[in-house]
Structure 1
Amino acid sequence: MGKPIKIAIAGIGNCTSSLIQGVEYYKNVTAGDDLVPGLMHNVLGGYKISDIEFVAAFDVDKRKVGKPLNKAIFEKPNNTLVFQEKIPKWGNVIVQKGPVLDGVAEHMAEYPEDVSFRVDEKQKPVDVTKVLKESGAEILMNYMPVGSQKATEYYVQASLDAGCAFINCMPVFIVSEPAWEKKFRDKGLPCIGDDISAQVGATIVHKVLAKLFADRGVKITGTYQLNVGGNTDFLNMARHHRLASKRISKTEAVQKQLPSPLPPDRIHIGPSDYVPWLKDQKICFLRIEGEKFGRVPTNLELRLSVEDSPNSAGCTIDCIRAAKLALDRGTSGALTSISAYLMKHPPQHYPPDLAKQMIEEFIKGERER
């Protein structure tokens, strides 16, 4: 289509770094190209990746606030793999300070600066709604740390007040919460969420395997998914009170694939530990136990290792274009198809293969949302 997709981002961490690197890395991809490694859609609804334009950015870390966005994504404590070093300035977008609220866990102060957040109280927060309006942003993407309930709700309200579509990449339940979803519907704005799933990550692999067991007549009797990593996401979740919604999000994603949910004591899913030297590498240990023909026991064990943040960006790159497509069409409220396929805690769960089909129907205009 050639029209720019003007996006603002709250939270300039590893996931944002990978996304911005990817927009530059894939800028020359067109509809005529063959399948490109790392992309689900070269062009989505007429929109190329090169149509994405970053117009505003918010963070609270003193090393990022006041820096050009193309420099801030490489500041500590970001530690994801760099696959695209040269990044354009996007109109000299400067990272501005948002309100801290509950966005920084208290225990971060106990860890070295290089791996944790640091806030300078002398840097004053801006009026996010005003910045969104002045920047011309059409979409606000939320990448607040897990457990940032108040901070996320602040950005949600700013998005509504500024007339922006909203993409919620973390597990504070907004799009899947009817009261919030109705506010976007009433404002005529689309929203996608909640809690971004990865291209090939622990949750989607667990969902597909659980569905496979069920479809093949194997009754699952117990399962666990243990994850370790060394980025600020895992450090942030080192205190269990920060990750209550994350456990719900990941657990429901698997439970919804089963004919009947497992008892709480037979399913355990969630981040398990922070291992600094892993940096942005995430390792998943997964086990499924079940009963097959003749009630004979069977079990599956899997180890999955991924670079966490590019895994996220491979999905958000489609969320952005889907949100823009919905804006063009005047579709408001939750985009159920894209949310079901690319989010862990959507308003409505569907099996992955059906959700994928629904996305293609949405892109073609055969499905409203």
Structure 2
Amino acid sequence: MAATGIQARFACKVGEFALDVDLDLPGSGLTALFGHSGCGKTTLLRCMAGLQTAKGIMRVNGDEWQGEQAGRGGGRPVHQRPLAYVFQETSLFPHLSVKRNLMYGYRRVPQSERQISFDQAVEWLGLSQLLTRMPAKLSGGERQRVAIARALLTSPRLLLMDEPLSALDRNSKQNIMPYLEALRDNLAIPMLYVSHSTAEVARLADHIVMMDKGRVVAQGPLQEIMARTDQPFGREDDAGVILEARISQRDDLWHLCRADFAGGQLWLRADDHLLTGQNVRLQVLAKDISLATSQHTDQSIQNLLLATVDEVAPDTSPGTSMVRLLAGRTPFLSRLTTRSVHTLAIEPGQQMWMQIKSVAIVD
């Protein structure tokens, strides 16, 4: 097993449900565990935390938590695993202020072992104006931010989050997202994030594990997995790809900006908050890409990209097909009628012009 990253192999049975997984995950960034309810996401997190008895092996950046060398019984008990677990319910101490809630875990960590400072946690989660408040005076999103900060202040080597936004309304979810992005970008430890929300995964994840019936059906970088035609992402109505891009130019006359990515460039609406040099995540849906065998400039669609057909696959209905294309090394998906695929004789290796009707910033 590798010395860095997370390596985990677990097998267990809970009632009639059986979990059997083999994972090799990055040692930093945010990995999303994605799948429908009952697929085993929470059970896997509990195995990692030591809350669920399971046969297997687990290492976190070279430190063995479970296995032949991990002590009697094959695994460390929960209190000896240097992790933090954020649940759906915040479970803040109601009689303590926000600051005292945060200090509860922080003071229990010896000063020499503290990896995250109090000020860092407060800044990353935007809590400076809330420190004197009591939990009862906080909104749901504010309570969850405090719970996450309290978890971080125990200086964990692994942060587990089990659907932390599921109890929040839409506005609260939107408000907390930038703070989770800040954690993803600033933390030097791996984060595992359970969700069944495609929108959350698209915005937050660097890496993804797709689960079904207690098994891992796919794992890898977010961009690669979302662009696969044989996985659930590729079969949903809002199937599409995520692009990492950088704003390279603003055209204030037409209220547009240009985003450069590894396979080319795309124009999108220039919101006031978009600045030249800013990194953004873009989403391009399969239903918003039509294909042509030659370049057509006499039309309203402005984003035209030359790409190579990589795969043609059946879609969710006999009348539609999914075409996977590569612009450079960047994958795209295009959902077409099967008749169109036949008429244009689309096949792997063929060069096509992608006509991209819409590009959205993931936020």
Q: State the TM bucket, normalised to the shorter chain.
A: under 0.3
Structure that is richer in strand per residue:
2
Q: TM-score, normalised by structure 1?
A: 0.27
Q: TM-score, normalised by structure 2?
A: 0.28
Q: Which has the higher contact order (CA 8 A, sep 6+)?
A: 1
